[in-house]
């Protein structure tokens, strides 16, 4: 070993960076939690094509070997002016791993590839943060990571969170963990890397609220990335959050481009993951190998099964909406209808059932507002050529807060 450095200390875990004699750099993390979910989450992110750090539990002989290596490093540098405090702390922490009474009780060790770059906490303070935010490659990769996190139910990176107050679902707010995304490089070479991955599927299997949330000390992830309409709302909320944190403003066009790129990236990753046929049985096996067992494993597999159904449902919904188009024959049928064309008649001509037609007629009032929105009644921050489709308008009409997001942004743009 050439060097041992401490990256983070605290009640949640201790993180060290270790440089081997050949120069390779690894991260050693001691933590309370069983790392099995991080291992499975990371494997699925890799399957999704997301850039992330390989992670391995360090146990048994591997743990013994690591202890010996650290001791050898300490012995070799004894009496020199090398600062050995990190190495000493690592030795003590490793010795306490198998002691159940140790405080803090860090009974698990993992080894990860060291990820080079800056996290969002640093990036938002940089003068060229706006360049990063408006970089299509950043935007696309962000969408990809958000989709992979939606698939794995990771609650700890990016999400729009539904308001858990008096009116759940009434508004969504952007949220992110500034330390769990590492950014390497700039411009076309920018690379986003996911660290601190998790696998917490099934906390959100309610189609009424696809967003993430936090309450009573816990937090849950978002599945919005499965559906492009919902994901647009999520990205919009995240952009607003980033703008606030960094004190920068994107122009309406820049916001639109960001949403487009991120949504395309997310769709691509969702497709990859859904095509990979990751079954509950497979997840069961992965958890097994990673060291999750018993009831906790059973529940996780059951939750994943519901979770993935939810994702497919959101996805199917989207496919359906793309498929809805009147055929030539249907159009001819509508045209030949006698008498004034009521909305009900048009819908009937399109083969919509009476009940559905009645429901649509009822939501007419909401749709009217969106017709106005489509005709230009937009907030100052929305680009003039920002067109939404009828389908999008209908989806948005269901939700007051989205309408407000597009119409009531205070202050207007500062570009």
Ligand X SMILES: Nc1ncnc2c1ncn2[C@@H]1O[C@H](COP(=O)(O)OP(=O)(O)O)[C@@H](O)[C@H]1O
Residue 112 contact among ligand X, Mg ion, none, beta carbon within 5 to 8 Å by kind: ligand X
CB of 196 to Mg ion, least distance (A): 4
Rule CB under 6 A: which of 22-41 touch ligand X?
27, 29
Rule CB under 5 A: which of 188-207 touch Mg ion?
196
Q: Which of 71, 85, 77, 113 is nearest to 5 (CA)?
A: 85
Q: Which of 135, 151, 155, 166 is nearest to 198 (CA)?
A: 155
Is the Cβ–Cβ distance between 364 and 234 less than 8 Å? no
Task: Using the rule CB under 6 A, give the single segment among 5-13, 75-83, 242-250, 379-387 that binds ligand X.
Answer: 5-13
Rule CB under 6 A: which of 188-227 touch ligand X?
195-196
Distances (CA, A) of 382 to 68, 167, 236, 390, 397: 61, 26, 11, 17, 17
Q: What is the DSSP secondary structure assignment for residue 116, as one 8-state letter?
A: P
- The label of the residue with tokens 């497709």 reads 271
Give whichever of 44 and 270 is closer to ligand X, judged by the CB atom: 44
Task: Using the rule CB under 6 A, give the single segment among 11-19, 68-76, 311-319, 375-383 that binds ligand X.
Answer: 11-19
CB of 109 to ligand X, least distance (A): 13
Rule CB under 5 A: which of 136-195 touch Mg ion?
179-180
Q: Does 267 bind Mg ion (CB under 5 A)?
A: no
CB of 16 to ligand X, least distance (A): 9
Give whichever of 52 and 401 is closer to ligand X, judged by the CB atom: 52
Q: Which of 192, 319, 203 is nearest to 265 (CA)?
A: 192
Rule CB under 6 A: which of 124-183 touch ligand X?
179-180
Phi then psi dihedrals of residue 358, to 5 deg: -65, -40
Q: Does 122 bind ligand X (CB under 6 A)?
A: no
DSSP E strands in 331-400: the ranges are none
Q: Does 259 bind ligand X (CB under 6 A)?
A: no
Report the residue from 2, 9, 12, 316 that binds ligand X according to the rule CB under 6 A.
12
**CA 56 – CA 111 distance, rounded (Å):** 5
Q: Does 358 bind ligand X (CB under 6 A)?
A: no
The CB-based long-range contact list for 185-192 (8 Å cut-off, 24+ gap) reads 185/117, 186/128, 186/131, 186/132, 186/135, 187/131, 187/135, 187/137, 188/137, 190/132, 190/135, 190/137, 190/138, 190/141, 191/51, 191/117, 191/141, 192/51, 192/138, 192/141, 192/142, 192/144, 192/145
Residue 395 contact among Mg ion, ligand X, none, beta carbon within 5 to 8 Å by kind: none
Which residue's Cβ lies closest to Mg ion?
Answer: 196
Q: Does 18 bind ligand X (CB under 6 A)?
A: no
Q: Which of 203, 339, 283 is nearest to 37 (CA)?
A: 283
Give whichever of 177 and 253 is closer to ligand X, judged by the CB atom: 177
**CA 20 – CA 37 distance, rounded (Å):** 27
Q: Does 52 bind Mg ion (CB under 5 A)?
A: no
Q: Which residues bind Mg ion (CB under 5 A)?
A: 179-180, 196
Q: Which residues bind ligand X (CB under 6 A)?
A: 7-8, 12-13, 15, 27, 29, 53, 112, 114-115, 119, 179-180, 195-196
């Amino acid at each position: 070993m050439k060097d041992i450095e401490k990256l983070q200390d605290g009640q949640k875990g201790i993180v060290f960076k270790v440089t081997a004699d050949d120069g390779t750099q690894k991260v050693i993390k001691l933590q309370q939690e069983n790392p099995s979910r991080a291992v499975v989450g990371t494997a699925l992110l890799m399957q999704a094509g997301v850039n992330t750090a390989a992670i391995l539990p360090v146990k048994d002989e591997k743990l013994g070997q690591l202890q010996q290596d650290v001791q050898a490093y300490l012995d070799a540098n004894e009496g020199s002016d090398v600062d050995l405090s990190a190495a000493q702390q690592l030795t003590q922490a490793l010795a306490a791993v198998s002691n159940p009474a140790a405080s803090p009780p860090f009974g698990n060790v993992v080894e990860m590839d060291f990820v080079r770059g800056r996290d969002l906490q640093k990036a938002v303070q940089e003068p060229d943060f706006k360049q990063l935010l408006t970089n299509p490659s950043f935007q696309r990769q962000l969408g990809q990571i958000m989709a992979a996190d939606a698939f794995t139910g990771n609650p700890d990176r990016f999400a729009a969170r539904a308001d858990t107050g008096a009116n759940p679902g009434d508004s969504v707010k952007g949220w992110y963990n500034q330390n769990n995304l590492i950014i390497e490089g700039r411009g076309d070479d920018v690379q986003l890397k996911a660290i601190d991955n998790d696998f917490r599927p099934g906390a959100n299997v309610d189609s009424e609220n696809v967003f993430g949330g936090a309450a009573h000390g816990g937090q849950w992830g978002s599945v919005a990335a499965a559906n492009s309409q919902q994901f647009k709302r999520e990205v919009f909320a995240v952009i607003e959050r980033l703008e606030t944190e960094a004190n920068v403003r994107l122009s309406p066009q820049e916001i639109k481009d960001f949403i487009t790129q991120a949504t395309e990236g997310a769709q691509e990753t969702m497709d990859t993951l859904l095509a990979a046929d990751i079954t509950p049985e497979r997840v069961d096996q992965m958890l097994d190998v990673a060291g999750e067992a018993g009831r906790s494993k059973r529940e996780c597999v059951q939750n994943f099964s519901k979770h993935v159904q939810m994702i497919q449902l959101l996805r199917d919904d989207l496919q359906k909406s793309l498929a809805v188009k009147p055929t030539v024959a249907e159009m001819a049928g509508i045209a030949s209808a006698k008498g004034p064309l009521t909305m009900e008649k048009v819908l009937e001509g399109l083969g919509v059932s009476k009940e559905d037609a009645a429901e649509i007629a009822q939501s007419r009032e909401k749709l009217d507002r969106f017709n106005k929105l489509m005709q230009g009644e937009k907030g100052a921050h929305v680009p003039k050529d920002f067109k939404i489709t009828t389908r999008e308008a209908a989806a948005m009409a269901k939700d007051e807060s989205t309408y407000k997001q597009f119409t009531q942004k205070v202050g207007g743009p500062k570009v």
